[in-house]
């Protein structure tokens, strides 16, 4: 009888920890793949993102963005493709890339072959502001 309170407390703590971590499992991307998909923006007729994952799954090695009829504050383009290379670490399935050339990309892998996130497009050191949009991508 005197252990009933301790037992209830222990069960409650286990339940809370389980709920707090549910759905937050770190996902390791498959090495050597490219995930690509759509950027949801009203600033372009079409907008796509492509991310190259390193063979050892530890970094994003290259980011490519492709736009058709892009219209931003201070900048327009009928079609545009930009690629930036570098090594952006993937930590616990998440990554963040910042560049004066394109802005900021935040993402997380939702499976070994798919990712999602947000992108804040700001080209040319922020002189061409295009806003923040969601994106989703899967292995190509």
**74-97 per-position pLDDT tens digit:** 889 999 999 999 899 999 999 999
List 96's β-bridge partners, or say none: 106
**98-122 per-position pLDDT tens digit:** 988 889 999 999 999 999 999 999 9
**2-59 per-position pLDDT tens digit:** 555 544 433 444 444 444 444 557 899 999 999 999 999 999 999 999 999 999 999 9
Rounded alpha-carbon distances, angstroms, from residue 133 to 40, 63, 106, 130: 6, 16, 11, 9
Domains of the chain by range and CATH? 34-139 (2.40.128)
Closest CA to 105 of 52, 54, 49: 49
């Amino acid at each position: 009888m005197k252990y009933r309170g301790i037992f209830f407390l222990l069960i409650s703590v286990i339940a809370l920890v389980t709920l707090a971590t549910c759905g937050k499992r770190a996902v390791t991307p498959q090495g050597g793949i490219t995930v690509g998909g759509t950027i949801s923006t009203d600033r372009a007729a079409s907008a796509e993102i492509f991310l190259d994952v390193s063979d050892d799954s530890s970094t994003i090695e290259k980011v490519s963005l492709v736009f058709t009829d892009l219209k931003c504050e201070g900048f327009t383009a009928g079609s545009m493709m930009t690629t930036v290379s570098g090594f952006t670490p993937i930590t616990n399935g998440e990554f963040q890339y910042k560049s004066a050339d394109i802005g900021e990309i935040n993402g997380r892998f939702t499976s070994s072959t798919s990712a999602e996130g947000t992108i804040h497009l700001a080209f040319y050191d922020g002189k061409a502001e295009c806003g923040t949009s969601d994106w989703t991508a899967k292995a190509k």
